[in-house]
Amino acid sequence: MVAITLDGIATATAVKGELAGRIAALKAKGITPGLGTLLVGDDPGSRSYVAGKHRDCAEVGIESIRVDLPATATQADVEEAIKKLNADPAVTGYIVQLPLPKGLDEHAALELIDPAKDADGLHPMNLGRLVMGIEGELASPLPCTPAGIVELLQRYDVPLSGKHVTVVGRGLTVGRPLGLLLTRKGIDSTVTLTHSRTVNIEDEIRRADVVVAAVGVPHFIKPEWVKPGAAVLDVGITRVENAETGKAKLTGDVDPAVAEVAGYFSPNPGGVGPMTRAMLLANVVKAAELAASCTAQAGWLSKCDDSL
């Protein structure tokens, strides 16, 4: 069997196309959605992702506001930059690119983000709303990678209800919130959330209808661990820079031979990464819409800005 490719590039293009009308409607009301990014330090991977996000914004007609701080920035510098983004009316949503350099407190930084502008859905209040399973007007923005994973699976009609999903990795941006999202009413998967201390991890993977690998260990998932026909999503990425050419080699968490056993396979690059970026744009547009309709407490907004 050769797996059906879950094409994240094509699917992200479709998602972006669907945002165009909403962006036009906002602009007609005099509102331009604006994505802010805060990047600290000079990690080449982070630089490349942030650059990608700004290109995406330009492509769909969203403003982007880029704030870069040097690797030597202190916690106070980072917090001051966050407060400025909270106050900047051109920024309808923003992200603090993670990981922050060693020594900086990520949790304190995330907690300072105005929840109404939290384009990553990583503010504790928004994560709390995800835990509570709040939907509709009160729903929080979803973390972009989990949202992108579910969107990709749904658009390819991969069954999730009652299915067993094994998530490999329990990180803040992927594994942990993905477990919460997949077990929501309406999605209804059964989730096994595995990590580096899981005993016999291959057994947990073998019984999965859907495997999501987000560990950052090159080619960790082996073909003999995968149930034939399962959907396998390769999320983790390891980047090795070639000092001479300056080019980076990207290696996913899944052994490419898995594509011969799986029923569906999302490659890396070209799979979940572009979907993550598309979901970020969707969150920014949604934040701008909520600000525009001034749904105040009903939305992610803690306050209603009459100037909008």
Annotated catalytic residues are 53, 97, 120
Is beta strand 248-252 parallel, antiparallel or unpaired with respect to 237-241? antiparallel
Tell me whether residue 237 is annotated as binding: yes
97 vs 126 by CB, closer to ligand GUE: 97
Q: How far is the CB of 21 from ligand GUE (least distance, A)?
A: 24
**Residue 131: closest CA among 186, 176, 180:** 180
Cβ 123 to ligand GUE shortest distance, Å: 11
The rounded radius of gyration (Å) of the Cα atoms in the chain is 19
List of residues contacting ligand GUE (CB under 6 A): 48-49, 52, 95-98, 120, 144-145, 173, 268-270, 273-274, 276-277
Helices (H), 101-189: 106-112, 124-132, 144-155, 175-182
Q: Which amino acid is at 220?
A: F
Provide the minimum distance between the beta carbon of 298 and ligand GUE in the complex, in angstroms, as a whole number: 26
Shortest CB 254 distance to ligand GUE, Å: 13
Cβ distance to ligand GUE smaller for residue 163 or 212: 212
Which of 49/264 has CB closer to ligand GUE? 49
d(CA 65, CA 126) in angstroms, rounded, equals 23
Q: Which two tokens stand for residue 17?
A: 């196309």
Q: What share of the chain is helix, strand, coil (3-state, %, to 5)?
A: 45, 20, 40
Minimal CB distance residue for ligand GUE: 273
- Which residues are CB-neighbours of 291 under 8 A, at least 6 positions away? 31, 92, 116, 301, 305, 308
Q: How far apart are CA 230 and CA 168, in angstroms?
A: 15
Q: Helix 272-293 to helix 8-28 angle, to the nearest 10 degrees? A: 20
155 is in an annotated binding site: no
Closest to ligand GUE by CB, 86 vs 295, is 86
Please give the annotated binding residues for NADP(+), written as ranges: 169-171, 237
Please give the annotated binding residues, written as ranges: 169-171, 237
